[in-house]
């Protein structure tokens, strides 16, 4: 048998476990919303809302259903509401045999407040029903329930109402319970019975009959049977309809999805910034390469692709001269490694020869460097030397062939 957690919105909140037939396997429990979460995880949740916050009506509507019915309902209820119709949410029930349609109206903000409190505690209701619609229906008697200062009344053929039970005698009069033709089935919570016993007993004198029953656990066990009854009107319609399928999953995962989308957007933004920065850096490098190419190749009038043109020039130099630039540089590197002391300051490649500007502590160091060049098959010609604070500055020309 399916079980439901029936939770009543009151102060304090109370709940019980009910079967599909309204039976009560467990006791009534009171506490906070969060206290009901462990029980709610394993069962469908039906919430009973205070009927004093819900206006019921049963107008005859010109349309039978669909979107047009939802548009007509607010105007049909306008005279019954204490406020602008835009402030209210409307739930539509089934039409009866007389073509009248049951309508329930509740302020949007109040309904939203109930749902947000439940959601914050981790409780997702299957339905929200007003307590007035949970009062048992007795075709031969007016059923009344006194509980927690409220009087709920359901007369045969009439819509149920919720009244303030203080003062109780006036509430009986307003509810139409007095009269020789009134036969009343009255349910009273244990607490209200102790508080108002004499006034309740006095009702016997002004009614045709009074069937009295004390509710030791309050009205919740009685109302729970009506709350889980199939066909009971739920306020969760339209914009407040319970989400199922992918909509429910989206509601559950939307925070994670939004965070993931934000992370992806941040990643794309960072990568985009890197691409823009690298593109700008590449532009600056292209300008620098072109400037260097114009210096290295003064005989070229038009630089279209500096990198390719420089590579072609180097490949051509190597083809025309077996001892090309790369070979000369390799010889210089080897000679410097084998003759510590000289330091290369700058070089210039021209007419298949390498002109070096070098600093050395003395002429012997330059001579050892020149000997190293000769050992590598190239000629090293010291064209000039100048004394300075560090020793000497020498200009050395390296070319193919034997040393002079």
According to DSSP, the residues that pair with 398 across neighbouring strands are 354, 380
Structure-model confidence comparison of residues 69 and 171, the more confident one: 171
Question: Do 37 and 168 have their domain in common?
Answer: yes
371 Cβ partners below 8 Å, 6+ apart? Answer: 339
DSSP assignments along 44-104, one per residue: EEEEEEPGGGEEEE-PBPSS-SSHHHHHHHHHHHGGG-SS-GGGEEEEEEEE-TTSBEEEE
- Whether residues 312 and 328 share a domain: the answer is no
Tell me which residue of 73, 71, 70, 68 sits closest to 55, measured CA to CA.
73
> What is the rounded average pLDDT of the residues 289-301?
66
Instruction: Give the SS3 label for residue 397.
Output: strand
Same domain, 65 and 148: yes
pLDDT reported for residue 296:
60
Q: Is there a single domain that holds both residue 93 and residue 170?
A: yes
Check residue 67 and give its pLDDT.
64
178 and 172 in contact (C-beta within 8 Å)? yes
C-alpha 299/C-alpha 276 separation (Å) is 35
Instruction: Give the residue-averaged pLDDT of 2-16.
Output: 90
- Residue 327 DSSP symbol: H
Same domain assignment for residues 14 and 124: yes
Both 106 and 34 in a single domain?
A: yes
pLDDT of 206-252, one tens digit each?
999 999 999 999 999 999 999 999 889 999 998 898 776 544 455 55
Region of poorest pLDDT, from 140-149, 245-254, 308-317, 348-357: 245-254
Q: Are residues 177 and 302 in the same domain?
A: no
Q: Kindly report the CATH number assigned to the domain that includes residue 334.
A: 3.30.1360.100
In the predicted model, is pLDDT for residue 312 greater than 60?
yes
State the residue range of the domain holding 66: 3-242
Nearest to 362 by CA among 380, 381, 343, 334: 343
Residues 332, 309 share a domain: no
State whether 178 and 327 are in the same domain: no
- Report pLDDT digits (tens) over 78-93: 888 888 889 999 998 8
- Specify the pLDDT at position 244: 61
Please list, residue by residue across 74-85, b when 16 or more beta carbons sit within 10 angstroms of its beta carbon and e when fewer do: bebbeeebeeee
Q: How many structural domains are present in the chain?
A: 3
Quote the distance between the C-alpha of residue 135 and its chain's center: 40
* Final residue belonging to a domain, choices 290, 316, 342: 316
Q: Is the pLDDT of residue 399 over 70?
A: yes
Indicate the residue among 268, 283, 316 that finishes a domain.
Answer: 316
What CATH number is given to the structural domain containing 36?
A: 3.30.420.380
Q: Report residue 62's pLDDT band, with 50, 70 and 90 as the boundaries.
A: confident
Percent of the chain beyond pLDDT 90?
41
pLDDT confidence bin for 272, thresholds 50/70/90: confident
pLDDT at 340: 78
pLDDT surpasses 70 at 316: no
Cα 227 to Cα 223: distance, rounded to the nearest angstrom: 6
Q: Do 136 and 111 touch, CB atoms closer than 8 A? A: no
100 and 62 together in one domain: yes
- Do the strands 207-215 and 378-388 form a parallel or antiparallel pair, or are they unpaired? unpaired
Cα 382 to Cα 274, 342, 403, distances in angstroms: 50, 13, 11
pLDDT of residue 201: 93
pLDDT for res 23: 67
| Of the residues 263, 296, 316, the one at which a domain ends | 316
Round to whole Å and give the CA distance between 74 and 83: 12
pLDDT at 195 over 80: yes
Give the model's pLDDT for residue 288: 67
**Residue 197 in this model has a pLDDT that exceeds 90:** yes
Kindly state whether residues 48 and 148 are assigned to the same domain. yes
pLDDT at 388: 86
Contact between 171 and 186 (Cβ < 8 Å): no
What integer is the mean pLDDT of 5-15?
91
Provide mean pLDDT across the span 169-173: 91
355 pLDDT above the threshold of 80: yes
256 in the same domain as 203: no
Q: Are 57 and 105 in contact (CB under 8 A)?
A: yes
Beta-carbon count within 10 A of 22 CB: 19
Greater pLDDT, 63 or 58: 58
Give residue 63's pLDDT. 63
pTM (predicted TM-score): 0.60
For 114-125, the pLDDT digits (tens) are: 999 999 998 999
State the pLDDT at residue 404: 42
The owner of tokens 């000039």 is 384
| pLDDT, mean over the chain | 84
Q: Which pLDDT band holds residue 403 (cuts at 50, 70, 90)?
A: very low
Asked if residue 359 lies in contact with residue 393, where contact means CB atoms within 8 angstroms, the answer is yes
From 232, 210, 208, 39, select the one nearest 132 (Cα to Cα): 232
Residue 100 structure tokens: 């009248």
Range of weakest confidence among 126-135, 255-264, 366-375: 255-264
End-to-end CA distance of the chain: 112
């Amino acid at each position: 048998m399916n079980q439901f957690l029936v939770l009543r919105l009151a102060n304090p909140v109370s709940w019980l476990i009910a079967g599909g037939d309204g039976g009560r396997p467990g006791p009534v429990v009171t506490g906070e919303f969060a206290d009901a979460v462990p029980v709610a995880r394993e069962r469908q949740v039906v919430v009973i809302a205070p009927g004093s916050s819900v206006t019921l009506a049963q107008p005859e509507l010109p349309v039978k259903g669909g979107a047009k019915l939802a548009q007509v309902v607010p105007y049909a209820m306008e005279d019954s509401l204490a406020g602008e119709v835009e402030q209210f949410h409307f739930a539509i029930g089934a039409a009866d045999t007389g073509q009248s349609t049951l309508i329930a109206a509740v302020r949007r903000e109040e309904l939203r407040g109930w749902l947000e409190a439940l959601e914050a505690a981790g409780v997702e209701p299957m339905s929200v029903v007003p307590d007035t619609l949970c009062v048992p229906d007795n075709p031969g008697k007016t059923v009344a329930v006194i509980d927690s200062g409220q009087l709920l009344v359901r007369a045969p053929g009439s819509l149920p109402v919720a009244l303030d039970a203080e003062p109780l005698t006036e509430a009986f009069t307003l509810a139409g319970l007095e009269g020789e033709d009134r036969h009343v089935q009255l349910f009273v919570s244990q607490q209200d019975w102790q508080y108002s016993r004499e006034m309740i007993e006095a009702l016997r004198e002004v009614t045709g009959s009074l069937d009295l029953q004390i509710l030791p656990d309050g009205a919740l066990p009685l109302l729970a049977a009506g709350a889980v009854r199939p066909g009971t009107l739920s306020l969760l319609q339209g914009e407040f309809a319970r989400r199922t399928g992918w909509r429910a999953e989206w509601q559950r995962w939307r925070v994670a999805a939004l965070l993931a989308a934000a992370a992806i957007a941040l990643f794309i933004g960072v990568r985009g910034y890197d691409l823009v920065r690298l593109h700008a850096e590449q532009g600056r490098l292209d300008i620098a390469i072109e400037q260097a190419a114009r210096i290295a190749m003064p005989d070229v009038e038009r630089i279209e692709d500096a990198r390719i043109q420089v590579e072609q020039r180097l490949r051509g130099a190597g083809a025309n001269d077996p001892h090309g630039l790369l070979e000369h540089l390799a010889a210089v590197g080897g000679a410097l490694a084998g003759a510590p002391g000289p330091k290369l300051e700058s070089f210039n490649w021209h007419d298949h020869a390498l002109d070096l500007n070098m600093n050395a502590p003395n002429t012997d160091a330059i001579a050892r460097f020149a000997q190293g060049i000769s050992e590598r098959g190239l000629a090293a010609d010291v064209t000039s030397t100048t004394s300075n604070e560090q020793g000497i500055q020498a200009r050395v020309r390296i070319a193919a062939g034997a040393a002079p």
